[in-house]
Amino acid sequence: MKKKLVLIAMISVSILYGCSKGNSNTAIENNTEGKPVIEENVSENLNIDTNIKSSDEALTMLKDGNERFLNDKSELRNINQQRRDQLKEGQNPYAVIVSCSDSRVTPTTIFNAGLGEIFDIRIAGNVVDDDALGSIEYAIEHCNTPLIVVIGHQSCGAVTAAYNKVIKGEALEGHIEDIVEKIEPSIDKNATLDDAINKNIEATIKKILEDESIKKFIDEGKVKIVGAYYDLGGKVTFK
């Protein structure tokens, strides 16, 4: 009789232990130091209406997005299946952004945007060629995009290469030279690298305004073009 009672007691303990282990398995496996286990927060995937018609409204959208990014409050937005299905019918981005191809300066990230919001044109040194100008034309003519932003950034490698060529006589090879040639007019021997970066933004805006198709939309008030500077700490300053 005693043996049966002992056996029953052992089985009961095993069952209770097994249930307890099954309920807290994750905590035991992931918490070797006895610290409390904190569940990871998953941001809600938001669907935001981005059917924006005016350049001022578009600029506000970018400023608000950068503010969220800068303060580590970026939203997970406009990337779910519903958004992807919506975009099968076409796109209506509210901003064309001409930026450097630098991996630290990704417009959809620094402006906390989602799919269908930003029409990206990225070339090292945020310069433009005929292909880039054609892409801008397409966005404003066929996608009704009301805002063009030319954004340069701190420590731009392409502008640095142009600056070092002019100031230090450093030679360049390959197609990088083609990019540097576009930036060289913005280099002042008596100014700083940051001055050159800002002048290069202005030079790109001037080049875009020389495109008659784009200028027509700007003159009619349908499109606005602005410059911006991105500090690698996260802040975008519009000019």
The binding site consists of 100, 102, 153, 156
Distance CA 208, CA 139 (A): 13
Buried b (16+ CB within 10 A) or exposed e, 103-116: eebebbebbbbbbb
Distance CA 199, CA 196 (A): 5
Distance CA 193, CA 158 (A): 11
Distance CA 195, CA 1 (A): 94
Exposure on the CB side of residue 35, measured as CA atoms within 13 A = 7
Structure tokens at 230: 């991105």
Using an 8 Å Cβ cutoff, are 1 and 7 in contact? no
Structure tokens at 6: 């002992």
Amino acid at 41: N
Using an 8 Å Cβ cutoff, are 161 and 149 in contact? no
Structure tokens at 83: 């958004």
Distance CA 103, CA 115 (A): 19
Residue from 190, 123, 209 nearest 159 by CA: 123
Annotated binding site for Zn(2+): 100, 102, 153, 156
